[in-house]
Amino acid sequence: MKVLFIGGTGIISEGVSKLAIERGIDLYLLNRGQRNEFIPEGAKLLQGDIRNPEAVSKVIANHEFDVVVDWIAFTPDHVSLDIDLFKNKIGQYIFISSASAYQKPSSHYLITESTPLSNPYWQYSRDKIACEELLINEYRDNGFPIAIVRPSLTYGKTMIPASLNSWAQPWSIIDRMRRGKKIIVQGDGTSLWTITHNSDFAKGIIGLFGNPGTLGHAFHITSDEVLTWNQIYEYIGKAAGVKPDIIHIPSDFIIHLYPDQLGTLIGDKSESAIFDNSKIKRFVPDFVATIPFTAGIKKSVQWFEAHPERCTVDTEWEMFMDDTIARYQKAF
């Protein structure tokens, strides 16, 4: 099977790329070649910028693919470009959407693929919904062979997943914990959340490759392990060798100070997220998530420690944490 990943070296996709090679897939990665350290041995790099369709069409001109997965499509114009590039040329196009697109607030505690898509709080999620709608219409009207995958919070060796951490410099939260500084957890920390290791996610999505029965369907692929945010932060601290000094601050208070946190908190992580994975297990019967968060986060911390050049601290994030805590304590 010949598969093209648009991207393929990100937090989620690098785990999928690795497993694809292990399973004998003829894998091509189309990207700008800026993260070559995460290209697994055996994968072939097609260097190009997907936002430059004329250049990309030349790069892929002599190739035919059974499956194309776009890991970096975020807005309708991105998927429109993919449709133009791959129409009538592929057997399956997989769009990476987001579980944050599901209804907020949810009308039922258990999220299935039929849960309505509606997120008035986060533009990122609304853009993903718009992409899905465009692709579904293209499938219905013109037979474009789409399948949709909605990951929730998925991490790997290069990410320390937390509700409030620096995305660009994720080591920041470990550094802060080890210095004994207070760590913000939104609300009272008891909302439920699902975190999935990228190697587990990989087993689910690769099982969908080349299956014609997936066309027109949407799937979320997550762990069945459900944790509170208090547990998540405690496990991060344990992996770092410390007990985190947690301070609970209401999400509304954080957003009042920093409105840009509206989407990621009220539009996502302040809500409980419990997923029914029966659909992906019907389509991929051997799918099972096997890495508990306690084991996965330990691997992440160890990877950073083995790469000290990656153990950098986001000073702006530090100021955000300190300022929010100081102003919350002053309010009392």
Look up the CATH number of domain 2-154+196-220.
Answer: 3.40.50.720
Q: What is the pLDDT of residue 99?
A: 97
CA distance 324 to 226: 28
Q: What is the pLDDT of residue 74?
A: 98
Q: What is the pTM of this model?
A: 0.95
Close Cβ partners of 3 (under 8 Å, ≥ 6 residues apart): 20, 25, 26, 27, 28, 65, 66, 67, 68, 69, 209
Other C-beta atoms lying within 10 Å of the C-beta of residue 197: 25
Write the CA distances from 56 to 48, 65, 92, 202, integer angstroms.
Answer: 6, 14, 19, 26
Close Cβ partners of 296 (under 8 Å, ≥ 6 residues apart): 155, 195, 197
CA distance 144 to 83: 8
CA distance 318 to 326: 12
Q: What is the pLDDT of residue 78?
A: 97
- Fold agreement between 2-154+196-220 and 157-193+227-272+291-331: no
Q: What is the pLDDT of residue 281?
A: 98
**Contact status, residue 135 vs residue 148, Cβ threshold 8 Å:** yes
Q: What is the pLDDT of residue 5?
A: 97
Beta bridge partners of 5: 29, 69
| pLDDT tens for each residue of 194-236 | 999 999 999 999 999 999 999 999 999 999 999 999 999 999 9
> Could you identify the residue written with the tokens 């809500």?
271
Alpha carbon 169 to chain centroid, angstroms? 16
Residues of the chain with pLDDT under 50: none
Other C-beta atoms lying within 10 Å of the C-beta of residue 103: 15
Left, alpha or beta for 288 (phi > 0: left; psi -120 to 50: alpha)?
A: beta
CATH class of 157-193+227-272+291-331: alpha beta
Q: What are phi and psi of 155, to 5 degrees?
A: -135, 170
Q: And the tokens for 195?
A: 């975190």
Domain ranges of the chain: 2-154+196-220, 157-193+227-272+291-331
CA distance 127 to 121: 12
Write the CA distances from 70 to 102, 135, 145, 313, 315, integer angstroms.
Answer: 20, 13, 13, 30, 32
| pLDDT tens for each residue of 7-61 | 999 999 999 999 999 999 999 999 987 778 889 999 999 999 999 989 999 999 9
Q: And the tokens for 11?
A: 């937090």
